[in-house]
Amino acid sequence: MTLDPKPDDRAVRLSEGSGRPNADAAPSAGSGLSTISRATYFKEAALQNLFLVCACVAVAGVALIFLFVGWRGWPIFAKVGLFNFLGGYVWHPTKGDFGILTLIVNSMLATLGALALGAPLAIGTAVFLSEVANPRIRDLVRPAVELLAGIPSVVYGFFGLVLLRPIIAKFSGGLGFGLFTVWIILAVMILPTIAAISEDALRSVPEGIREASYAMGATKWQTIWRVLLPAAKIGIIDAIILGMGRAIGETMAVVMVAGNAPVIPNGIFAPFLTLTTVIVMDMPYAAGDHRTALFGVAIILFVISMIFVATIRIISRFGKEVG
């Protein structure tokens, strides 16, 4: 009778103290197993280094942009003063007035108004796609929503300028430029971002939570409103903050329908100017302190984006700790 090989003969020998297969170890006779070759180790090490390089390039790109913008824009803070730059109401670079408080307020007004219109629509779309729509309708609606994210911003601006602006001008009695027009355009632009992330957050809610709600006699709408939305609120908040970043950083669509007056608007149909649009409009002819001030505006936008990203990370970490 032939005895089975010992277990030690069938096992792949491990490198001393590493727990990994030894590339130099020869396979045991009759084991049916083979060790990992040296070439495989080289390939894995090369892939690991490649991924490390990709991560370093991403970090280096952000750092270089920040350093470049900071280097070009910091002199305006030293000359004008940080308080005067951020707290001044007048933006008139040719006369030496570099206050951007008005531009900051206008940017926030545009962003918050767009969120007020777009966030409920986006969350409703996410609920419909994840909980209500049947597969056939879902396969039709989801690509249409995703297509909104792929439309260039200049096309949105052209749509707002040619079609939406005359309609608003007709019932407002003005030119059609202003906050209301920008709100509508930005609301449509941020919809796919908020809807996609909110849908993922709703789908990540365990199925047992839905079943428990139905078992207690709740209807579908009660389950959605009182169970699913609260359970997915961290992901939905993250989506809204990302939508804010998308809205406050938008340029081309806003510059085409905002009217671009460097004052705080006295109504939702009055022209205004934002942080992003002032860079686009002034950079072609700006020189000296004017050009430096535009880089200072870019620094403020960069800081605002960093605040949004940090807020998302803090909320996500808080959600994990609570969960």
Non-local CB neighbours of 213 within 8 Å, separated by 6+ positions: 222, 223, 226, 227
Q: What is the pLDDT of residue 2?
A: 45
263-301 burial, b for 16+ CB within 10 Å, e for fewer? eebeebbbbbbbbbbbbebbeeebeebbbbbbbbbbbbb
Q: Are 229 and 250 in contact (CB under 8 A)?
A: no
pLDDT of residue 95: 86
Q: What pLDDT score was predicted for residue 194?
A: 94
From the list 126, 131, 137, 135, the residue with the least C-alpha distance to 220 is 131
Which domains can be identified in the chain, with CATH numbers?
1-36 (no CATH), 82-322 (1.10.3720.10)
pLDDT in tens, the chain (323 residues): 444 444 444 444 444 444 444 444 444 444 444 567 888 888 888 899 999 999 999 899 989 998 999 999 999 998 888 899 998 888 988 888 899 999 999 999 999 999 999 999 999 999 999 989 898 999 999 999 989 988 999 999 999 999 999 999 998 888 889 999 999 999 999 999 999 999 999 999 998 898 899 889 888 899 999 999 999 988 999 899 999 988 998 889 999 999 988 889 998 999 999 999 999 999 888 888 999 999 999 999 999 988 888 888 888 777 666 65
- Give the list of residues 6+ apart from residue 44 with CB closer than 8 angstroms, or none: none
Q: Mapping DSSP to helix (H, G, I), strand (E, B) and coil, where does residue 177 land?
A: coil
Question: pTM of this prediction?
Answer: 0.81
Type of residue found at 158: F
Question: What is residue 21's three-state secondary structure?
Answer: strand
pLDDT digits (tens, 9 = 90+) for 26-38: 444 444 445 678 8
* Cα–Cα distance measured from residue 85 to residue 91, given in angstroms and rounded to the nearest whole number: 9
280 contacts 255 by C-beta, under 8 angstroms: yes
Instruction: State the number of CA atoms in the 13 A half-sphere of 113 facing the CB.
Output: 18
Tens digit of pLDDT for each residue in 263-282? 899 989 999 999 999 999 99
